[in-house]
Amino acid sequence: MSSSSLSLEEVRRIAALARLRLAPEEEERFAGQLSAILAHVEQLKELDVSGVEPMTHALAAGEVPALREDAVLPGLSPEEALAAAPAREGTAFKVPRIIE
């Protein structure tokens, strides 16, 4: 196996970070599939990228976008805002108890 293969433990750590509950068989399957993909991605390491600027934005070079003026625009009413909420209390979104 290549150095990029993913252990089950790592799969679980990532799933927790991504807030995804995975069934045990999914953990197994993802470990294998993600390892295969990462092994393919290893080929990027062949390239010498020293001194290369990352292309973090795809916008055309030299275009400086106009910024929004600081003026209030109409928004949503609380009813519109909450229309799709799975649960609400008054005009707040309701969630299970948050413990700090």
Partner 1 sequence: MAVADFQTVIGLEVHAQLLTRTKIFCGCSTAFGGEPNTHVCPVCLGLPGVLPSLNRRVVEMAVRTGLALGCAVRPKSVWARKNYFYPDLPKGYQISQYELPICEGGEVPLTLDGVERTVRLVRIHMEEDAGKNVHDVSADGSSGVDLNRAGVPLLEIVSQPDLRSADEAVEYLKSLRAIVMALGVNDGNMQEGSLRCDANVSVMRRGASEYGTRCEIKNMNSFRFLRQAIEYEVRRQVELVESGGRVEQETRLFDPDRGETRSMRSKEEAHDYRYFPEPDLPPVIVEPALVERLRAELPELPRARAARYQSALGLSAYDAGNLVADAAVAGFFDAALAAYGEGAEAAKKVANWLTGEVARLANETGEAAASWKLTPQKLAAVLRLVDAGTIGGPGAKQVVEEVFRTGAEPEAVVKAKGLAQVSDAGALEAAVDKILAANPAEVEKHRSGKKDLTGFFVGQVMKETKGKANPAVVNALLRKKLGA
Partner 2 sequence: MTAPTQDLVRLGLREAGDAVGARRVSSRALVDAALARIEATDAKVGAFLAVTPERARAAADAADARAAAGARRSPIDGVPLALKDIFLTKGVPTTAGSRILEGYLPPYDATVVERLEAAGAVVVGKLNMDEFAMGSSNENSAYKPCHNPWDLSRTPGGSSGGSAAAVAARQVPGALGTDTGGSIREPAAFCGVVGVKPTYGRVSRYGVIAFASSLDQVGPLARSVGDAAVLLRTVAGHDPRDMTSSTRPVDDYLATLEGGAKGLRVGVPREWLEGGGVDPGVAGAVRSALDAYERLGARLVEISLPHSKYGIGAYYLIAPAEASSNLARYDGVRFGLRAKDARGLKEMYSESRERGFGPEPKRRIMLGTYALSAGYYDAYYLRAQKVRTLIRRDFDAAFERCDVIAGPVTPSVAFRLGERTDDPLKMYLADIFTITCNLAALPGLSVPCGLEAGSGLPVGLQLLGRPFDEATLFRAARALERELPALPAPPGV
Instruction: Return residues touching partner 2 (CB under 8 A).
Output: 6, 10-11, 14-22, 26, 30, 33-34, 36-38, 40-45, 47, 49, 52-60, 63, 65-66, 68, 76, 80-81, 83-87, 93, 95-99
Is residue 17 at the binding interface for partner 1, with CB under 8 A as the rule? yes
- Is the distance from CB of 6 to CB of 28 less than 8 angstroms? no
Q: Judging by beta carbons within 10 Å of its beta carbon (0-12, 13-18, 19+), is residue 14 exposed, middle or buried?
A: middle
| Residues 34, 39, 44: CA angle, nearest 5 degrees | 120
Name the one range near partner 1 by CB under 8 A: 2-10, 24-32, 38-46, 84-92: 84-92
71-84 burial: b if 16+ Cβ within 10 Å, else e: eeeeeeeeeeebee
Is residue 71 at the binding interface for partner 1, with CB under 8 A as the rule? yes
Which residues are near partner 1 by CB under 8 A? 17, 19, 56-59, 63-65, 67-76, 78, 81-82, 87, 89-100
